[in-house]
């Protein structure tokens, strides 16, 4: 009976070991550009057509798609120190530095993010791209909320020198605006950004609450 139990247990252990080794090998192949530091209650990551449930300390690589459910939020810390709070019911794609300008950032498919972008010597702009807008920052805190046809962007920094440059993703629209701390704009599809205006305290508070993680 003892021998029978060992023979039965051996395939189970072998299968578990194989799965563990496969997971470790898969993890080793990932060239991480950041990691998950917090999430509530859950978030998912899609990498090369595989969808995984995220956990704290999981690596995040270029082109990974991070998605939160309704009521869910997650925080990413990117290489270099930038911190991204992803709001409820949101989806984004992580981008690593590329090109001569070393521009890095993320593509927000829908939902909201609040990003604190670290300023590093020699680093390029950090861009948040949506379906209608592109916002470029360096050493600034910004809030972005995106839907298919409209993007709202706000400069949440308290540094008076901090600026956010906002333009359209439509190459035929060349107008841009610069947001100073406390200012916001909206960018409709294929239209220039609206003139900057001072956000109300209620709008600023909503931006923080939509992306708050405690």
- The domain limits of the chain are 1-30, 32-210
Q: How far apart are CA 210 and CA 183, in angstroms?
A: 18
CATH number of 32-210: 2.60.120.1440
Q: Which helix (H) or strand (E) holds 178?
A: strand 176-179
Contact in structure between 90 and 121 (CB atoms under 8 Å) = no
SS3 state at 140: coil
Task: Write down the pLDDT at residue 29.
Answer: 59
Residue of 106, 119, 96 whose CA lies nearest to 32: 96
Q: How far apart are CA 187 and CA 44, in angstroms?
A: 28
Chain segment 21-61, per-residue pLDDT in tens = 444 444 445 688 899 999 999 999 999 889 999 999 999 99
Contact in structure between 116 and 137 (CB atoms under 8 Å) = no
Residue of 32, 62, 117, 80 whose CA lies nearest to 127: 117
DSSP 118: P
Q: How far apart are CA 167 and CA 207, in angstroms?
A: 20
Residue 8: CB atoms within 10 A of its CB come to 9
pLDDT at residue 199 is higher than 70: yes
Task: Write down the pLDDT at residue 73.
Answer: 96
Contact in structure between 155 and 179 (CB atoms under 8 Å) = yes
Residue 134: CB atoms within 10 A of its CB come to 21
Residue of 118, 137, 119, 116 whose CA lies nearest to 128: 137
Residue of 101, 57, 99 whose CA lies nearest to 75: 57
Chain segment 114-170, per-residue pLDDT in tens = 999 987 655 567 899 999 999 998 778 999 999 999 999 999 999 999 999 999 999
């Amino acid at each position: 009976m003892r021998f029978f139990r060992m023979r039965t247990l051996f395939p189970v252990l072998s299968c578990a070991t194989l799965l563990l080794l496969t997971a470790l090998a898969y993890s080793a192949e990932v060239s991480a550009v950041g990691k998950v530091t917090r999430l509530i209650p859950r978030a998912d990551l899609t990498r090369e057509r595989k969808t995984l449930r995220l956990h704290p300390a999981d690596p995040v690589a270029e082109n990974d798609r991070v998605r939160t459910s309704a009521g869910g939020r997650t925080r990413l810390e990117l290489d270099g120190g930038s911190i991204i709070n992803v709001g409820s019911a949101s989806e984004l794609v992580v981008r690593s530095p590329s090109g001569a300008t070393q521009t890095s950032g993320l593509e927000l498919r829908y939902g909201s993010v609040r990003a604190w972008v670290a300023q590093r010597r020699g680093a390029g702009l950090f861009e948040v791209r949506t379906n209608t807008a592109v916002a470029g920052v360096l050493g600034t805190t910004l809030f972005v909320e995106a839907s298919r046809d409209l993007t709202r962007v706000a400069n949440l920094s308290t540094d008076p020198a901090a600026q956010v440059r906002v333009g359209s993703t439509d190459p035929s629209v060349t107008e841009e605006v610069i947001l100073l701390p406390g200012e916001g704009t909206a960018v409709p599809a294929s239209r220039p950004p609206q003139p900057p205006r001072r956000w109300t305290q209620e709008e600023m508070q909503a931006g923080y609450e939509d992306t708050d993680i405690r």
